[in-house]
Structure 1
């Protein structure tokens, strides 16, 4: 018997999610990028967003960028003032110090410009694969696969990959996700995951892609 996962077509899935995307709010970093943020501001916003709700990230980024929008301005502002501006993002004292540290490195090593290379981004303190890939996508519009909890969960739930961690999901997607979908994949799945394909009891009755989903790990739904 053929299962939904065996019938699954990633092009159909992405097309379906994209056609419904405007019903949902864009992820906060996409929202900031669409407002004209440069790669440095995308990097800063992404670091602020870690372990922080989107609405808190948006307000903190707005307050910070009203005072400092470049690495030089971040260094001049200093850790203590940055802390006050970005509060109450998660781990705000640590993030304030990290922003100054990263800004100093970008000034000294990259002439004040964020590097548009994955390996170089990963050398920056506090920058992991999720952050680096998102900066490449939203800051440089380069094909990259940013895997957060939504992308990891949904890619497994629909039966497209079978992985245990976000990093393993990224490498699995690199092997099979068509390059044409890389830039949009995170943006679409985060918006979809925040509203419809929730971690617990997803809204399968309202899901535009329900007919093609394997529903791996779903025990209850709405």
Structure 2
């Protein structure tokens, strides 16, 4: 399967799972809300009945020294039931939030891996650096689609961003590297050495220094 087909399959699986989870949560929320409404109505009626009884007794000049234990017991039970219903709703909300976060993470990872699939990197660590540099640029547009930069597809943004700003991560033409594919291009090479290590380095310089050190270590171990 192509990366695009894999991405579409993952997106459909995630969408189906989220639809079922949302439907189950909606049904559970409705049932809980109906129960809360019924309990509240019963509690309101019990409170109204008690208020009416207290008023009638006061009109007759009979002081109400103590409250009705039956009514108090009913009110306490209804409060307990409402608290339990709230806990269940909170748990359902947490489950949905966790599932949404997991699905979001999986969709972003698929988009990133698809966008970098055609690049030839100098080493596995260079590819990881590319992922970390690309990730902050990923966002959702108003339609809920994952985009990057000025509302480009993640793949289109990566094809411009990586070679233009971080070409030092790419393998030279004809060279080895993690995930190298035939025809992968290498547009220049940013040179980094120990003199580049200093306070106030830009993220790009820091990444270049790290990549240079890792690449040097990889070459030494060959």
If the TM-score is normalised by the length of the shorter chain, which range does it land in? under 0.3
TM norm structure 1 = 0.28
More helix per residue: 2
Which gives a bigger RCO, structure 1 or 2 (Cα 8 Å, sep 6+)?
1
Larger-Rg structure? 2
